[in-house]
Chains A and B, each alone.
Chain A
Amino acid sequence: MEEPEGSDEDPGERLRRTFRAQREKSKKIRDVEGISSIQQHSADDGRTEQTDESVVPSKSGKLSQKGLSSRKHPSATSQHLDDSVTRRLEAKLREAISKVEEEQKDAPLEPASRLQSLRDRDAAIRFDREVDADRVERQDVPADLSTRVKFREAARKVIKVHPNAEEAYTFFTHNFEPDPLDESEKMSRKKKKTQRTSEEEGDGEDGEEEVKEGDHDIESESEQAPLVQNEDEDLFVLDQLPEDVLVVKKAEYVGYKQRVARESELLFTPSSQPVPTSCKLPENMKPRYLEDEGLYVGERPPVSWTNERIMENRLLQMAEGMKWFGDDGRTLALPNPIKESSTRPPLQHIEGDLDPALQTVFRKLVMSKNANLYVTGAADPEGDYQLDVDVSGLIFSHHPLFSREHVLGARLAQLYDQYLSRQHNNLTEHLTDKLRGLRRALQNMLEIHGERDLTPPMQQRISEYSLEVRNTRQLRDNEQEKDRTLLKQLVKVWKEVKTLRELQRFTNTPYKLFLRRENVDRAADEQEHEGEILTEIVELQAESEEDYQRKLAEYKKQLEQWKLWRRKQKAKRKKRKKKKKGQSHDDTDEDEEEQEMSESESPTEEGPSKPEAPERPDFRSTEEWVREKASRIRRKPGEAILIPDLTASGNITATALCPRTEVARREDVSKRSLFIKILYNDKEVSRTDSRALNADFRVHFGQIFNLKIVNCPQSINLQVFEQIGLSSSLLAQVFVPVPQPTVVTGNAPLEEFEFSSNQRVMFDHEGVGSDVPLSFDADGSNKVTLLTSGKVSCCVSWGNGEDGAPLAPPVSQHLVRKHGGLGHLDAVTYLGASGLYDMKKIAEWAKQSRLDPNDPKNASIMQLLKVASSGEVTTPEYFRLEHLQEEFNFVTDEEIEKNKRFRLLRLREQGVPEFRNYKFVPAHENGISNEVFKDYEKRLKEEQIIDAKEYLDTHRALVAKNLQKIRESVIHRFLHAKRNYHVSDLVVEEEIPSIRFLGIELFKWAQPRRPLKPQRKERKKVTAQNLSDGDIKLLVNIIRAYEVPVRRPQSNKAAQSSQAAIQGSDWYLSQAQLRPFVEVSFQRTVLQTSSAEGPNPCWNEELQLPFRAPNGDYSTANLQAVKDEVFINIFDEVVHKSGESDKDRGQSFHASVEKHWLGSVKIPFSTIYSQSKIDGTFKVNTPAVLLGYNSERRHAPSGAYDILLSQSEGTFLTLFITIEPQLVPGESLRDKIKEVKFDSMQFDSQEDEGLLQASDRFESEATQNFPDRPCITTVVDLSGKTVFITRYIQALNPPPELLEVSTQEPAALIARYVSLIPFLPDRVSYTGACGLWSTCDQFLSFLAGDEEEHAVLLCNYFLSMGKKAWLIIGTAIPEGPTAYVLTLEQSRYLIWNPSSGQSYSQYDTFCPLQTIGCLVNASNVWFNVQQYTSPTRISFDTTKAKLWKQFFSRAFCHPGLSSVQPETLMYRRGDKAAAAELQDRIEKILKEKIMEWRPRRPTRWNRYCTTTLKHFLPKLEQSRGADVTEGHRHQLQSQLGDNKISGFPLNLPFSGIQPIIEAVYSTGVHHIQAPSAEFALAVYVHPYPNNVLSVWVYLASLIRS
Chain B
Amino acid sequence: MAELHIIGQIVGASGFPQNSLFCKWGIHTGGAWRLLSGLKEGQTQVDIPQTGDMAYWSHPIDLHYTTKGLQGWPKLHLQVWHQDSLGHSQLFGYGFCHVPSSPGQHHISCVTWRPLGSWQEQLTQMFVGGGPQLRNPDLIYSGADRYRLHTAAMGTVELELGVIMKHFDKHGVET
Contact = CB atoms under 8 A, between A and B. Distances in A.
Contact of A902 (B1, B25, B43, B130): B1
Interface stretch (B34-42, B99-107, B153-161): B34-42
Contacts of A355: 145, 148
Contact of B117 (A362, A371, A379): A362
Given A368-B87, A889-B68, A358 B1 contact: no
A890 B2 contact: yes
A378 B77 contact: yes
Interface in B99-155: 115, 117-119, 121, 124, 128-140, 144-146, 148-150
Interface string A880-912: 001001001111110110010010011011000
Contact of B136 (A357, A372, A377, A885): A357
A905 B171 contact: no
Interface of B (DSSP majority class): mixed
Contacts of A356: 135
Contact of B89 (A371, A379, A891): A371
A360 B117 contact: yes
A1204 to B, nearest CB: 60
Interface stretch (A140-148, A346-354, A1301-1309, A1582-1590): A346-354
A380 B148 contact: no
B60 interface: no
B129 A365 contact: yes
Interface string A364-375: 111111011000
Interface size class of A (residues with CB under 8 A): 35 or more
A338 interface: no
A817 interface: no
B24 A378 contact: yes
A363 B131 contact: yes
Given A366-B89, A368-B83, A888-B69, A360 B135 contact: yes
A888 B67 CA distance: 12
A376 interface: yes
A906 B118 CA distance: 47
B64 interface: yes
A222 B87 CA distance: 80
Contacts of B18: none
B90 interface: yes
Nearest to A370: B89
A365 B89 contact: yes
B88 A350 contact: no
A57 interface: no
B19 interface: no
B82 to A, nearest CB: 10
A360 B148 contact: no
Contacts of A896: 1, 34, 66, 68
B36 A891 contact: no
A367 B89 contact: yes
A359 interface: yes
Given A372-B43, A377-B43, A888-B70, A362 B26 contact: no
A1453 interface: no
B131 to A, nearest CB: 7
A161 interface: no
B21 to A, nearest CB: 12
A910 to B, nearest CB: 9
Interface in A1211-1234: none
Contacts of A367: 87-89
Contacts of A893: 68
A368 B20 CA distance: 13
Given A361-B133, A367-B88, A896-B1, A378 B79 contact: yes
Nearest to A344: B150
A1053 to B, nearest CB: 76
A888 B43 CA distance: 34
A737 interface: no
A950 to B, nearest CB: 34
A224 B118 CA distance: 77
Contacts of A364: 128-130
B55 interface: no
Nearest to B46: A368
B93 to A, nearest CB: 13
B91 interface: yes
Contacts of A909: 36-38
A1307 to B, nearest CB: 58
Contact of A890 (B42, B84, B148, B171): B171
A1441 to B, nearest CB: 47
A1462 interface: no
A381 interface: yes
A909 to B, nearest CB: 4
Contacts of B88: 365-368
Nearest to A897: B34
Interface in A537-565: none
Interface string A1353-1374: 0000000000000000000000
Contact of B145 (A358, A379, A906): A358
Given A358-B139, A372-B43, A896-B34, A890 B118 contact: no
A891 B172 CA distance: 12
Contacts of B150: 347
Contacts of B131: 362-363
Nearest to B150: A347
Given A362-B121, A368-B83, A902 B66 contact: yes
Contact of B135 (A359, A366, A925): A359
B90 A365 contact: yes
Nearest to A906: B36
A354 B147 CA distance: 11
B148 to A, nearest CB: 6
Given A354-B148, A896-B34, A376 B68 contact: no
A362 B130 contact: yes
A889 B172 CA distance: 11
B1 A891 contact: yes
Interface string A1087-1129: 0000000000000000000000000000000000000000000
Nearest to B84: A365
A1594 B88 CA distance: 73
Contact of B1 (A354, A357, A371, A890): A890
A889 B32 contact: yes
B90 to A, nearest CB: 5
A893 B67 CA distance: 9
Contact of B118 (A348, A357, A892): A348
Nearest to B149: A358
A1165 B133 CA distance: 54
A362 B132 contact: yes
Contacts of A363: 90-91, 130-133
Contacts of A358: 134, 139, 145-146, 148-149
Given A376-B24, A889-B68, A351 B91 contact: no
Contacts of A348: 118
Nearest to B173: A890
B9 to A, nearest CB: 17
Contacts of B34: 896, 902
A925 B140 CA distance: 37
A249 B44 CA distance: 74
29 contacts: A347-B119, A357-B138, A358-B139, A358-B148, A360-B115, A360-B133, A361-B132, A361-B134, A362-B121, A363-B132, A363-B133, A364-B129, A365-B88, A366-B130, A367-B87, A369-B87, A377-B25, A377-B43, A378-B41, A378-B77, A380-B137, A890-B68, A890-B69, A890-B171, A899-B66, A902-B1, A905-B64, A906-B37, A909-B38
Interface of A: 347-348, 350-351, 354-369, 371-372, 376-381, 882, 885, 888-893, 895-896, 899, 902, 905-906, 908-909, 925
Given A379-B137, A891-B68, 16 more contacts: A358-B148, A362-B117, A362-B132, A362-B133, A365-B130, A366-B89, A367-B87, A367-B88, A378-B25, A378-B79, A381-B24, A882-B71, A885-B71, A888-B70, A902-B66, A908-B37
Q: Which 6 A-B pairs have the closest CB atoms?
A: A377-B41, A360-B132, A365-B88, A909-B37, A378-B26, A890-B171
